Amino acid sequence: MTAPAVAINGLTKRFGSALALDHVSLEVQPGEFVSLLGPSGCGKTTLLRIIAGFESPTQGRVSIHGQDVTDLAAEQRPTNLVFQRGALFPHMSVGMNIGYALRLRRWSAVRIAARVEEMLALVRLEGMRDRMPGQLSGGQSQRVALARALAAEPKVLLLDEPLSALDLKLREQMQLELRAIQRKLGATFVFVTHDQTEALVMSDRIAIMQGGRIVQTGSPQDIYRRPNSVFVSGFIGQTNLLRGRIVGQDGARSTIDVGGVHLSAPTLPGMAPGDAAILLLRPEALRLRDPGRAEVAGCALEGRLTDRVYLGHCVRITIAGPGGIPLFADLREEEAEGLNKGDIVALVWAASSPILMKEDFA
């Protein structure tokens, strides 16, 4: 088997007394698009800057395609970085910016010119070669930054929230473009973001970071459907968390008492009756009770409707669940028709929808 494109092994980084990274290990395969996702301060940017060579780890090693680069300076590493705000050289034209790494590598002028045109075509900026960075829009700047970082064919491209300064519409368009470029080149991308949608849209694999650790790695579906902690479930998408206690177990299914109501969920190995547990329900998994359809015992709740919000693609209703805790459900518009504040609403869900979890760090 070939060596991973990036192999991070037991990486720890301290800034004074603060622990920015705590024994982080991660492998990125060649051609893979991996996102480092987490709230600000979780250590994702520090991890990226260590891979790029701008910070040195307190402990641990970084290898790229089997070569240990931990002690190499940034300019000697086969990685390139796309900066958050582009960091285009303001005194150089677009073409000069894109060709900078090639001039440093002493390519001939002819080859550089050809490569610059190729990169401009890749990021769809043909004809912009002689513009100055000050004359570019935000989206164009980030495209030039991408072209500049890709020009010298780095083994791994690192991206530090490159779309975060753009407005929503442009950001969504750029996400798809970036993804297409990565596919086309078959390049390895490591992408840092705090935006969960962005990570879901673009990545082959997502590594969720919290407090200097990677808390879960997996495909977007894995992470969304099988979060391994309350933190992950909350970070990816809206969730309903129902706290209770396991009161019965019947092989594949457990019964949980939530504020006096007994609910059913797939058993989580290692949890036994008497344990405190959390039941996770995604709002879009909830449906209105339909008298014409059979429902699974322990997969339904009733409560008074306290709020309804029109979100465009759905209607989000809130009902007072067991013990009064709010429970969100995303219903189709026609489904929610006729529901008013104060109505008693019954919600049901598929037997496979609920996920049983332990309290984080319990």
Partner 1 sequence: MAPQDQPLVASAASLLPAFLVYAVLLVIPLAALFVLGFWRADGFTLIPDLSLANYQRILTSGLYRDVLIRTIQVGMVTAAIVVPLAFALSYVMRFVLERRGALILQLVLLSLFSGYLVRIYAWRTILGKQGLLNTTLQYLGLIDEPLDFLIYSQLAVVITLCGLLLPLAVLPIYSAMLNVSDDFMEAARDLGAGFWQRLRTVLLPMVLPGVTTAFAFAFLLSAGDFVTPSLVGGMQSTMIGNIIADQFRGIGANWPLGAALSFVTIGAMMTACLAVVGLLRGVSRC
Partner 2 sequence: MLTGFARLFVILVVLFLYLPVFVTVIFSFSTSPRLSLPIEGLTLDWYSAALDNPQMAAALRNSLILAVGTALISGVIGCACSFGILARKSVRLRQGLLAFSLLPAVVPLLVTGIALAVMFHAIGLQQGLRNAMLGHVLVCLPFVILTMNARLQNFDFSVLEAARDLGASRLRAFTDITLPLIRPSLIGACLLAAALSLDEFVVTWFNIGNQQTVPVLVWGLMRRGVDPAINALATALFALLVTLVVASNLVGKRGPR
* Distance from chain centroid for Cα 258: 31
135 binds partner 1 (CB under 8 A): no
Write the interaction track for partner 1 spanning residues 9-48; mark x where CB under 8 A is met and - where it is not: ----------------------------------------
The three-state secondary structure class of 354 is: coil
Q: Which does 348 bind (CB under 5 to 8 A by kind): partner 1, partner 2, none?
A: none
Neighbours of 187 (CB within 10 A): 19
Q: Which residues neighbour 299 within 8 Å (Cβ) at sequence distance 6 or greater? A: 263, 264, 348, 349, 350, 351, 353, 354
Among 174, 201, 188, 178, smallest CA distance to 51 is for 188
- Residue choice 39, 56, 114, 344 for contact with partner 1 (CB under 8 A): 56
Q: Minimum Å distance from CB 123 to partner 2?
A: 16
Q: Minimum Å distance from CB 50 to partner 1?
A: 8
Cβ proximity to partner 1: between 55 and 330 the closer is 55
Q: Minimum Å distance from CB 33 to partner 2?
A: 20
CA distance 281 to 298: 13
Q: Is 101 exposed, middle or buried (0-12, 13-18, 19+ CB in 10 A)?
A: buried
Q: Minimum Å distance from CB 13 to partner 1?
A: 10
DSSP summary character for residue 185: H
Q: Helix H segments across the chain?
A: 44-52, 94-104, 109-122, 138-151, 168-185, 196-202, 220-225, 230-235, 333-336
Q: Minimum Å distance from CB 54 to partner 2?
A: 6
Contact 352, 346 (CB under 8 A): no
Q: Minimum Å distance from CB 99 to partner 2?
A: 10
74 binds partner 1 (CB under 8 A): yes
89 binds partner 1 (CB under 8 A): no
54 binds partner 1 (CB under 8 A): yes
Residues of this chain that interact with partner 2 (CB under 8 A) are 52-54, 73-76, 79-81, 83-85, 87-91, 100-101, 104-105, 134, 148-149, 152
Q: Which residues bind partner 1 (CB under 8 A)?
A: 53-56, 71-74
